[in-house]
Structure 1
């Protein structure tokens, strides 16, 4: 057991090294600006007026190291009471990082470290949980899938909520399935804490409520089939009571955390902000309930949480304008997440997934399956069944969503996909040996069955895993821009951008390129940048802001543009989206970039 734990620790140490060193030269990404300013002010001032559409816990963790730095930040500037709650968060992040005399790279570095450590904790708990149910081989295989996932690596390095949300879903489902198997008071409390932590990471974790309900119905049905409730339904009501207790524990945790965050948030300002945010929202009964709670001194922490939840409901309904496969739309595409998942995870893992599907289908076809057999399998493999249910449920929800801004939004399903694949592959590799062979023939047969016969399978799986690991190291340090060999990293921007390719992470690489490449010596860079960095900070007088409608920059000059901006301008408008001709970068259509900064900033020489 210790040997397996050491192997797991080494894998996670390698993962941390990849995270740490690949993030060192990444500029602030687009979403980090809002989260960085919010996290700092939450802990420093106990005031939750920034970025209310995301719960505070991930931002609190990220901002903790900043409490030991002597930073400048003035809350007496107009942005702090700006009526527009949405723009306020971006102003605060920009001012903290670039306009207060602080070192932005120092702030970004220290805030990313806790997020990296959270991802390492995630990997360790995932390994231990899987190992406790299915053994160390499955646990280590799941951990390898996790630690060498380009998507997990990319988003474990930033001050965002996506990996935290995946962690929340994991601990929520893992603790709840353990609770159902043995609903002791200890497991009830643990499940309640896990649910509360998850709900404090991201509002999408609210999906755990219907998921818990459906898993409970399935569990009760399976127990009833086995005669557990044949004489009395008292145990069912006791189970329901404990599930209610899980919800109450989670609610108490949410209340305690939000109480801290509204402690110095003036009640009149909180109410004013809530009225501004919800002024055009549907679901007016919920809006009125929220405003009533905020008006109550004791309920306003929960009112702040409900306001954030309403913001997420409204945003999910409205969608987000984005580029996908040559089109620009705000209404989403059903093929968005399947395409992003297929292109953004390694081909080696997809090969193992196909193998696992083949093996599972072969088992089904060889077995005499019936409804009774299906129910028996579900009861005996409830964790696998719950994992499969969650993956299907979450993917169905995501595919029908209009909010298509990154494969990161289906990240919560990845660990459960890894489990399903690893379990099937491990079962295929396992050949039981003969216990205590009685003679030489039996001993030779045991040796053959245990080591020789499965060797081709083992070598195949090891080879595929090596290819997966090599492809991940080969992508260093451009993990956000990673695309597998189907399209290649250099071509990924033609398919999907935003947080799948270009989130502004390459601004510091543009600075380095301009400073070191002699062709840019004494040259001004005309720049249209998308992201959370500040060109004025990193490039100073070497750059001039530019955009499509200004037309061609001066002849012979150099123009740099972010991939997300360029693809969004040149895509085909779909639905209600309109792209004006002057905003389409028509003057770049016959030009090719002479080079790139990183992968995501294209540099042209103007003829």
Structure 2
């Protein structure tokens, strides 16, 4: 498909200038150790499947993965140091490793686009499939996170296959669909731990499916519900079997004593302890060890979610999270054209509901029965967004990425219906025929022109952002160059511009530059002997000179601590506010030429 070809070109070409982002420093060594060493001691807080896929191109590569260093031998989850050593200190070519491991992510994104198109075409037709796939292919958030060795794309794929397979099972609960739904559930859990949400989502869909069977009695509905519950339990068991099988590989060479020690440390503060104690109990039995490692990661995620995440957002710094974090970032980091299309779709949908001749509970149940895919999509979006908004873990708009494909499909469905919303009438005369021609080809023309303009606007805004997709903010968010004032970290600055800083230093013949860097790249490797570490907390440099700082560190230092958060004095350096950067590396590294003090 042309759209997927364009998306692939944008992803690949824009990734070539990006250094390793922060999370890749952990995921890359973990991926290698999973596939080649069968040892899951690194990065257990993320399930292995997406990392396994990323590591496949490394087969046959002559790489050095040190296992005699402290990070591997003694540290608990020494992923960051192991990653730095593997990429930059072991004689490997980090640029080649990045290129090879990012490519499967991009190909998975293309495959996912094909899945969205195929699903939409099957249920809603060619026009809806094209528009939904366009919104996906020209989503700057998808283009961004499908280029990195992280779990965000995998989470979106996982929720999609998990929900689609389960809805198909509900429609035809035969042995084949039970098996497919079970495998989809297991694969989903192996892609992201947040997929545990599929279980309550399945519960909601089960209840809804039984309730909307208005053609049968309530007793028959209860019987149908109980039968589906038992089959859903079988689906989950099939999923657990797949999880066990995959994790078996990953703990094969992981010493059990080391696994027990690591688990005890990593879950040291988890409450309630009775739940945490399940993990070492599972690990001590060889047959249950794979499930023990899986549940270790799941509990680590729950533990981290409860603790929140320190973030700069709208001029403030806190670790408690705020309810408007995800809604605002969604509105500002996806194109305005998409949001206008969404408003049109919502208004048209509400109008159709208000004009419905029959308004009753039974009519609503019949609509859900006849439009269960749409209901399932809306239910998932509502559950997932509610979970995200109420969580203190504000980790970037990428966290709500799994809901995007369902939003795209729903918007596309309603927009196509709106474009073709001419009155239905019988043609019994020439006058009726002329009126029908007018309604189809003349009266609808403004709608087509508006929709076409919005599609072109979205495409042009995304193409214009090349290659800085991670820093994308729409016009309301300040655009590429000013979005850092809203939120940073994976929303704007994840360390991707380090190579561009190296280009700037060489092009401007800068003799030396101090750098305070946030990311997964190696300043020493990119800048050579021109690099020196800079700690802004020490105050304005006495002799002045060239200095650079990542936007994530700068905004975290400039923003005041709020809602009880206490900022470390070393994380603030207000003296820098008196100076303006003279340039930027890419969008996210500010470059200063400071005068002598």
| TM-based fold match above 0.5 | yes
2:488 is the alignment partner of 1:509: no
| C-alpha distance in 2 between matches for 1:551 and 1:461 | 53
SS at match of 2:147: coil
Q: CA deviation at 1:439?
A: 7.5
1:532 paired residue among 517, 520, 529: 520
2:297 is the alignment partner of 1:302: no
Q: CA deviation at 1:571?
A: 0.7
How far does the alpha carbon of each residue in 1:250-299 deviate from its partner, in whole angstroms, 9 at most, with x for none?
A: 11110000001011111111111111111221121121111110000110
2:241 is the alignment partner of 1:284: no
| C-alpha distance in 1 between matches for 2:129 and 2:456 | 17
2:20 is the alignment partner of 1:21: no
1:561 paired residue among 516, 540, 549: 549
Q: CA deviation at 1:373?
A: 1.9
| C-alpha distance in 2 between matches for 1:102 and 1:594 | 35
Report the TM-score when normalising by structure 1.
0.95
Evaluate the alpha carbon distance shift between residue 239 and residue 114 of structure 1 in structure 2; reply closer, same or farther with a 3 A threshold.
Answer: same
Report the TM-score when normalising by structure 2.
0.96
Superposition map of 1:567-606 within 5 A: 567-581=555-569, 583-606=571-594
Superposition map of 1:177-188 within 5 A: 177-188=167-178
| C-alpha distance in 2 between matches for 1:239 and 1:231 | 12
Which residue in 2 is equivalent to 1:5? none
Unaligned runs of 5+ residues in structure 1 are: 1-8
Segment of structure 1 superposing worse, 577-586 or 63-72: 577-586
2:72 is the alignment partner of 1:41: no
Which residue in 1 is equivalent to 2:262? 273
| C-alpha distance in 1 between matches for 2:329 and 2:96 | 33
Segment of structure 1 superposing worse, 298-307 or 63-72: 63-72
Task: Say how many residue pairs are matched.
Answer: 593
| C-alpha distance in 2 between matches for 1:202 and 1:453 | 48
Aligned residues of 1:433 and 1:450 also touching (Cα < 8 A): no
Superposition map of 1:347-496 within 5 A: 347-367=336-356, 368-431=358-421, 444-486=434-476, 487-496=478-487
Segment of structure 1 superposing worse, 152-161 or 242-251: 242-251
| C-alpha distance in 1 between matches for 2:571 and 2:426 | 77
SS at match of 1:116: helix
Segment of structure 1 superposing worse, 580-589 or 565-574: 580-589
SS at match of 2:39: coil
Which residue in 2 is equivalent to 1:6? none
2:200 paired residue among 189, 206, 210: 210
Superposition map of 1:73-222 within 5 A: 73-85=65-77, 88-222=78-212
Aligned residues of 1:229 and 1:236 also touching (Cα < 8 A): no
Unaligned runs of 5+ residues in structure 2 are: none
SS at match of 1:504: coil
Q: CA deviation at 1:363?
A: 1.8
How far does the alpha carbon of each residue in 1:125-160 deviate from its partner, in whole angstroms, 9 at most, with x for none?
A: 011111111111111111011110111111010000
| C-alpha distance in 1 between matches for 2:530 and 2:564 | 38
| C-alpha distance in 1 between matches for 2:585 and 2:159 | 36
Aligned residues of 1:431 and 1:449 also touching (Cα < 8 A): no
Aligned residues of 1:258 and 1:302 also touching (Cα < 8 A): yes
Segment of structure 1 superposing worse, 422-431 or 49-58: 422-431
Q: CA deviation at 1:358?
A: 1.3
Q: CA deviation at 1:522?
A: 4.5
